[in-house]
Structures are given as structure tokens and as C-alpha cells.
């Protein structure tokens, strides 16, 4: 198992390399540059800036220069947030994003699996239909609608919770809910579907025929089987949640890294974009590995060696 994990991580290096290369050149073929402003800079200033950031060199040289720095763990300076290196920006923002995403994931998992299980157990009853309705709502209503709405209701009208910021535990409630809502919906639907299937399976019939209590049948025999498809979904979902959400961070004014990706791309802040791309890629690789290992831990038919 450990050998498998190590092999998988080694196998990810070429993947990451390709992503870095692709992102690097894609970024550069986009028109414009980091120092384009409404009022063009003086030619001398621009030349100096380009020299400082090595933008005066041929593209391939810049590429190898970046790779060389990357190999030493240096993501370079941000072109726009002067005085900050990309490491510093990500180092400051990532913990916030991870905290926010992690809590949202936890909330989504708990509520989603409970709702999904209840719906499956009461299939085709009003409970089931209401869960499905809420789930459909959660998936269809975009977070840029939910976020201001929650902020307005709980932050402004009711003044129960802060409408933004990231200082106290209360301030985390609304962003976490906003981020978790669609995930709750997706997980509830996934669990419901696989749970219904599991409850119909032959081995659950066996458990019933042997007089096991319903609680035990559901938790021990049906839920574990029903979790498997959800776990496959969780890999990419966790990677996406933990690397931040532009919308939620922007609306609630949170210092996460989600917004860097968009702002960086719009500002042609090459190094910042590359930094976030790398972080996201690493998260995706790692979480997919975790999913595969979890899968093997839950299903004895899956073995890696």
C-alpha cells in the first residue's frame, strides 16, 4: 500500500510538469502583459520592470528560469502585489481557503449523507421528495446569488452574523454555508441513489432475513456500500473546495487564494497564476490518491500492490 502511494506520487511528477509547461505557455500567448495600464508607462520604466522580472529574455529562457526556480521551491515574485513573493501570498491565503473549504466539506458530508440516507430509507415519501427538492435547489441556485442573499438576511436585516470578514468563528458561518450548500445537495443525491441500490441488494436482504436490527443494517451494511461512489466524487470536489472559491471569497471579503487565480489571470500576474495552478494541481493529485487509498480501505475487493 505504501509502495503504491509512493509510486503514484512519483507518477504525478510528469503530470505536474506537463501542467506547468502548458500553463506557462498558455499564459504567455494571451495578449497583454503584467504592466499594461490605462496610461502607458514610460518606455524606460517599462524596460526596467521587464528587466527586473526577466521579461526581456526570450520566452524559452524565461521558461527554464522559472523551472529552475521552481525546482528550488521558489515560485517567484508577484508582478502585481509588489513586495510579496508568490509563496508569501499563497502561504497567507491558503490556510484561510483550507479552513473554509475543509469546514464546508465536513458540513456537506455530514448533512449530505444524513439527508441522502433518510431520503433513501423513506423512498417516494414526502421526506424523500423534500430532500430531492432542497437538493435540486442547492445545485441550481448559483453561489453568487446565495452569498449576497445570506449576507443580506443574516448580516444586514437580522444582524445575527457578520456580513463579511474572517476574524471570528461567527464570521465563518455564512461563507461555509454558501460553499457547502451545493455540495450538500450533490452528496445527498449521490448517497440517496447508491443507498437505494444498496438497500435492494441481496446481502441486505440476507441481513434482514437474519433479523438484524434496522439501524445495524443501514449503518453497517448499506451505508458503507453507499459511501463508495461518494468517495470517488470527493477527490476532485475536495481539491476544488480547499483551493478556494473566487465568488465566496470576494463577496465575503475573505483573504483566501481563490481570488488570486482570477485576479492573477486578469492582471497577467504570470507567477501568481502559475503558483495557484501548481497548488490546485498538487491538491487534485493528492486527493485523488487519498480517494483511491480510502477506496481500498473500505472495499476489500480493491487491492493495490
Judged by the rule CB under 8 A, the positions of this chain that interact with another protein are 4, 7-8, 11, 123, 200-214, 216, 220-221, 224-225, 298-301, 304-305
Q: Which helix (H) or strand (E) segment is 60 a member of?
A: helix 59-71
DSSP assigned state of 73: T
Q: What value, to the nearest 5°, has the Cα angle with vertex 261 and ends 283 and 41? A: 145
Smallest distance from the beta carbon of 21 to another protein, in angstroms?
A: 22
Residue whose C-alpha is closest to residue 131's, from 83, 184, 170: 184
- Of 51 and 205, nearer to another protein (C-beta) is 205
Are 83 and 276 in contact by the 8 Å Cβ rule? The answer is: no
Residue whose C-alpha is closest to residue 269's, from 66, 35, 65: 35
Smallest distance from the beta carbon of 117 to another protein, in angstroms?
A: 16
- Of 15 and 92, nearer to another protein (C-beta) is 15
Backbone φ and ψ for 257, nearest 5 degrees, come out as -100, -10
- Of 156 and 216, nearer to another protein (C-beta) is 216
Report the C-alpha gap between 185 and 175 in whole angstroms: 16
- Of 54 and 208, nearer to another protein (C-beta) is 208
- Of 11 and 142, nearer to another protein (C-beta) is 11
Smallest distance from the beta carbon of 207 to another protein, in angstroms?
A: 7
Smallest distance from the beta carbon of 95 to another protein, in angstroms?
A: 33
Smallest distance from the beta carbon of 203 to another protein, in angstroms?
A: 4
Residues 6 or more apart whose Cβ sits within 8 Å of residue 122: 128
Residue whose C-alpha is closest to residue 282's, from 53, 62, 63, 75: 75
- Of 18 and 216, nearer to another protein (C-beta) is 216
Smallest distance from the beta carbon of 300 to another protein, in angstroms?
A: 4
Report the C-alpha gap between 20 and 22 in whole angstroms: 6
Amino acid at each position: 500500500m505504501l509502495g503504491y502511494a509512493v509510486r503514484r506520487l512519483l507518477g504525478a511528477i510528469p503530470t505536474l510538469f506537463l501542467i506547468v509547461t502548458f500553463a506557462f505557455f498558455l499564459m504567455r500567448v494571451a495578449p497583454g502583459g503584467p504592466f499594461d495600464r490605462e496610461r502607458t508607462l514610460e518606455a524606460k520604466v517599462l524596460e526596467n520592470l521587464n528587466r527586473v522580472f526577466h521579461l526581456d529574455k526570450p520566452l524559452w529562457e524565461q521558461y527554464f528560469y522559472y523551472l529552475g526556480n521552481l525546482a528550488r521551491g521558489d515560485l517567484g515574485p508577484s508582478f502585481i502585489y509588489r513586495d510579496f513573493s508568490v509563496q508569501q501570498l499563497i502561504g497567507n491565503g491558503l490556510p484561510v481557503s483550507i479552513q473554509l473549504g475543509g469546514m464546508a466539506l465536513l458540513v456537506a458530508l455530514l448533512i449530505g449523507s444524513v439527508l441522502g440516507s433518510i431520503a433513501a430509507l423513506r423512498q417516494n415519501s414526502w421526506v424523500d421528495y423534500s430532500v430531492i427538492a432542497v437538493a435540486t435547489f442547492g445545485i441550481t441556485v448559483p453561489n453568487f446569488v446565495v452569498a449576497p442573499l445570506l449576507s443580506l438576511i443574516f448580516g444586514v436585516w437580522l444582524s445575527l452574523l457578520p456580513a463579511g470578514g474572517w476574524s471570528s468563528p461567527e464570521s465563518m458561518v455564512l461563507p461555509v454555508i454558501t460553499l457547502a450548500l451545493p455540495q450538500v445537495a450533490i452528496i445527498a443525491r449521490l448517497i440517496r441513489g447508491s443507498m437505494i441500490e444498496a438497500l435492494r441488494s441481496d446481502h441486505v436482504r440476507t441481513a434482514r432475513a437474519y433479523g438484524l436490527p434496522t439501524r445495524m443494517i443501514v449503518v453497517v451494511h448499506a451505508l458503507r456500500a453507499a459511501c463508495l461512489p461518494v468517495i470517488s466524487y470527493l477527490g476532485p470536489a475536495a481539491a476544488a473546495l480547499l483551493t478556494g472559491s473566487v465568488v465566496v471569497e470576494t463577496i465575503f471579503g475573505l483573504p483566501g487564494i481563490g481570488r488570486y487565480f482570477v485576479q492573477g489571470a486578469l492582471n497577467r500576474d504570470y507567477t501568481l497564476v502559475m503558483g495557484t495552478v501548481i497548488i490546485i494541481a498538487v491538491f487534485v493529485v493528492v486527493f485523488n490518491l487519498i480517494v483511491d487509498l480510502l477506496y481500498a480501505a473500505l472495499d476489500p475487493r480493491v487491492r493495490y500492490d
